[in-house]
A = this chain, B = another copy of it.
Amino acid sequence: MAGDAKLAVVEAVRTAIVHGEYAPRQRLIETDLCERFGTSRFIARSALQELAGMGLVEFERNKGARVRDIPLTEAIEITEVRMLLEGLMAARAAERVTRSEAARLRGIVTDMRTAVTRSELVRYSELNGRLHAAVRDIAKHTTSDRLLRQLRDQTVRHQFSLALVPGRPAVSLPQHEAIVAAVVARDPAAAEQAMRRHLQSVIEALQSLLGQSAPRGQRRQPAQGARRTPPAEEILAAAAILS
């Protein structure tokens, strides 16, 4: 497997799902994928299987693949795990950070500040992603890295919902600043704690969302057809605030 063709399809479908082009529980018909990505059914199938392994799609016997719907409760669980792993990453980064890496982190965070003052959410998003990637690079913990990637992919959608609650940017930026400060100060314990506090606040936000949005039993979505395609830009801005 792992033919480059398959890998390309996996990546394409992955970003499509993460960016919301495919809605949760939407069926992923193999032949559709074939014509969209110009490959054979076998490739599409393999790609879907790999995505299933990543937890992004699910199979049902004789009914094919659909985009996995991650319920809010599971998103909370995932964020709890993320809190632990990202905390570990932050601590590691604090232990190993070099001078040049520290400078890089500081540069990113000052850019974030200006982006926030100018209300440039997309720019902030990009910087945020770059910051976290930098922390992961510094930590060099491949196991956590791999797991975190999976977990992040699964929760992007809910981060989008969360971005709509007002006032979150105001709390997000100082938390990020605290994380970077601890890392560049080479204080592992403080870095871990800062990262945990950050994600703890995300968990609490998700829990409040849970309380208000699901008063009674599972309200099922239409389940087929992209019910809405939020622009990627919007999604990115959402991810910025919370990750």
Contact = CB atoms under 8 A, between A and B. Distances in A.
Interface of A: 1-3, 45-46, 48-50, 52-54, 59-61, 74, 77-78, 80-81, 84-85, 87-88, 141-144, 147, 151
A222 B45 CA distance: 35
Contact of A74 (B88, B143, B147, B151): B143
A144 B85 contact: no
18 contacts: A1-B45, A1-B49, A2-B60, A2-B61, A3-B61, A50-B53, A52-B53, A74-B142, A74-B143, A77-B142, A77-B144, A80-B141, A80-B143, A80-B144, A81-B85, A81-B88, A84-B85, A143-B151
Contact of A147 (B3, B50, B60, B81): B81
What number of copies of this chain does the assembly contain? 2
Contacts of A2: 59-61
A9 to B, nearest CB: 14
Contacts of A144: 77, 80-81
A178 to B, nearest CB: 21
Given A49-B53, A81-B147, A84-B85, 8 more contacts: A1-B48, A1-B59, A2-B59, A2-B60, A53-B54, A77-B141, A77-B143, A80-B143
Nearest to A4: B61
A145 B61 CA distance: 24
Nearest to A2: B59
Contacts of A45: 1
Looking at A49, A52, A151, which has the most chain B CB atoms within 10 Å of its CB?
A49
A97 B84 CA distance: 22
Looking at A1, A3, A87, which has the most chain B CB atoms within 10 Å of its CB?
A1
A54 B53 CA distance: 7
Contacts of A78: 143
Q: Which 5 A-B pairs give the minimum distances between C-beta atoms? A: A53-B53, A84-B84, A77-B143, A2-B59, A78-B143
B147 A52 contact: no
Nearest to A54: B53
Contacts of A3: 61
